[in-house]
Amino acid sequence: MNDLIRAREVRVVDANGDQLGIMTAREALGIAGDRGMDLVEVAPNAKPPVCRIMDYGKHRYEQSKRDKAAKKKQKVVNIKEIRMSPKIDDHDFEVKFKAAERFLKSGDKVKVTVRFRGREIVHSNLARTKLENLATQLKEVAAVERPPKLEGRQMIAVLAPRSDTSQKAETKKVEAKAETVEGNN
């Protein structure tokens, strides 16, 4: 930028995108100074390097606005974990099912872990059945991202929310906020 440009000759493009031609860096700096703008090197590897006459402060401000807008559009995905044993009782399984359903509806991924203690690992097929049963019961709100897999002394499966259910949760949150705002007025 400005005095930091080391090339002798540069191709100059003005703020409107018009080519001003090839000139020395000093001449380009003079033109930029007359217009009250900066000379910014945009393509240093080109022969000759390409420089643009622009308001660098304004350019940085607009770039930061674009970055903030892109960051707002990103969604942070949390992974919630649910632990159970391979000998889980029906009611306890139902409680875990409801918790997983709640997490998935709020847009979070669910990592379901079945821990084996002692000789329980002999019955790993029982744990696989439990995990597959949970996945089939949650098929309306979740998709299996990672099928049940034995890792050490535990079996793990990961369920991700279906895109349409997470969008419904977002719209419900927005509607709830709108209702509370209307109720306060």
What digits encode the pLDDT tens for the residues 94-127? 999 999 999 999 889 999 999 999 888 888 888 8
Mean pLDDT of 19-23: 87
CATH assignment, 2-56? 3.10.20.80
Domain boundaries, the chain: 2-56, 79-172
Q: Distances from the Cα of 77 to the Cαs of 32, 103, 110, 112, 160, in angstroms?
A: 46, 11, 10, 16, 10
Per-residue b/e over 100-111, b at no fewer than 16 CB within 10 Å?
Answer: bbebbbbbbbbb
Residue 168's pLDDT band (cuts 50, 70, 90): low
Q: Is the per-residue pLDDT at 178 higher than 90?
A: no
When the pLDDT of each residue in the chain is averaged and rounded to a whole number, the result is 85
Quote the pTM value.
0.53
CATH 3.40.50.720 is the classification of domain 79-172: no
Residue 97: which of 48, 54, 133, 149 has the closest Cα? Answer: 133
Residue 171: its pLDDT value, please?
Answer: 55
Q: Distances from the Cα of 142 to the Cαs of 6, 7, 74, 100, 101, in angstroms?
A: 57, 58, 21, 10, 8
Most confident of 2-6, 17-21, 107-111, 122-126: 107-111
Going by C-beta distance under 8 Å and a sequence separation of 6 or more, which residues neighbour residue 129?
none
Distance CA(10)–CA(61), nearest Å, equals 26
> Degrees (nearest 5) of the Cα angle 55, 60, 65?
125
Residue 39: its pLDDT value, please?
Answer: 86
